[in-house]
Amino acid sequence: MVNKDLELFDCGHRACGGCGAALAARLVLKGAGTNTIVVSATGCMEVFSTPYPETAWKVPWIHSLFENASAVASGVVASLQKQGRTEKVIVMGGDGATFDIGMLCISGAFERGHDLTYICYDNEAYMNTGIQRSGATPYDASTTTSPAGSCSFGNKRPKKDMPQILAAHGAPYVATASIAYPMDLMQKVEKAINTPGPCYVQLHAPCCTGWGFEGEQTVAIAKLAIETGLWVNYEMIDGKVTKVKKVVRKPVEEYLKTQKRFRHLFKPKRQDAEIAAIQAIADKNAEKYGIDIKLKKE
Partner 1 sequence: MLEITEGSLAVAEAVRLCRPQVIAAYPITPQTHIVEALADMVANCKLDADYITVESEFSALSACLGASAAGSRTYSATTSQGLALMFEVCFNVAGMRLPIIMTIANRALGAPLSIWNDQQDSISLRDSGWLQFYAEDNQEATDLHYIAYRVCEDPAVALPAFVCFDGFILSHTYEPVEQLNQADVDKYLPKFAPKERLDAADPISFGMYATPEYYHEFRYAHDKALKDSAAVIKKAGEEFKKLFGRDYGAMVEGYLLDDAETVIVAMGSICGTTKDAIDEMRATGKKVGLLKVRVFRPFPSEELSKALAGAKRIAVLDKNISLGSKGALALEIRDALYGSRVSVFGYIIGLGGRDVRKKDIKEIVALAEKGQGDIFYGLRKEVL
Q: Is 150 in the site for partner 1 (CB under 8 A)?
A: no
Q: Does 57 bind partner 1 (CB under 8 A)?
A: yes
Choice from 21, 74, 120, 205 touching partner 1 (CB under 8 A): 74
Query: Do residues 121 and 29 make contact, with C-beta atoms less than 8 angstroms apart?
Result: no
Q: How far is CA 259 from CA 57, 77, 141, in A?
A: 31, 40, 9
From the list 102-110, 147-155, 220-228, 276-284, the region that binds partner 1 by CB under 8 A is 102-110
Alpha carbon dihedral 28, 33, 39, 40, in 10-degree steps, equals 30
CA distances from 242 to 1, 168, 198, 234, 236 (A): 21, 16, 18, 7, 6
Is the link from the previous residue into 147 a cis peptide, with omega within 30 of 0? no
By CB under 8 A, tell whether 112 contacts partner 1. yes
* Region near partner 1 per CB under 8 A, out of 54-62, 172-180, 212-220, 283-291: 54-62
Q: Which of 229, 206, 223 is nearest to 280 (CA)?
A: 229
Q: Which of residues 192-251 bind partner 1 (CB under 8 A)?
A: none
The backbone region for 247, taken as left when phi is positive above 0, alpha when psi lies in -120 to 50, beta otherwise, is beta
**Could you say whether residue 3 binds partner 1 (CB under 8 A)?**
no
Residue 199, Cβ neighbours under 10 Å: how many? 25
From 10, 100, 107, 263, residue interacting with partner 1 (rule: CB under 8 A): 107
Q: Which is nearer to partner 1, 81 or 194 (CB)?
A: 81
Cβ atoms of 233 and 207 within 8 Å: the answer is: no
- The residues in 13-42 that bind partner 1, with binding defined as CB under 8 A, are 34-37, 39
φ/ψ of residue 190, rounded to 5: -60, -45
Shortest distance in whole angstroms from residue 256 CB to partner 1 = 35
Residue type, position 6, single letter: L
* Number of residues binding to partner 1, judged by CB under 8 A: 43
CB of 275 vs partner 1, minimal distance in Å: 41
DSSP conformation letters of 169-190: TT-SEEEEEETTSHHHHHHHHH
Taking CB under 8 A as the criterion, the residue among 17, 51, 149, 196 binding partner 1 is 51
Distance CA 286, CA 100 (A): 26
Rounded CA separation 235/93 (Å): 19
Sole window of 101-109, 158-166, 200-208, 227-235 interacting with partner 1 (rule: CB under 8 A): 101-109
Q: How far is the CB of 71 from partner 1 (least distance, A)?
A: 4
Q: Which is nearer to partner 1, 108 or 239 (CB)?
A: 108
Write down the least CB distance from residue 257 to partner 1, Å: 37
Q: How far is the CB of 43 from partner 1 (least distance, A)?
A: 11
Instruction: Return the DSSP state at 195.
Output: S
Of the candidate spans 107-115, 117-125, 139-147, 196-204, the one that interacts with partner 1 by CB under 8 A turns out to be 107-115
- Residues found near partner 1 in the complex (CB under 8 A): 34-37, 39, 46-47, 50-53, 55, 57-65, 67-68, 71-83, 87, 104-105, 107-108, 111-112
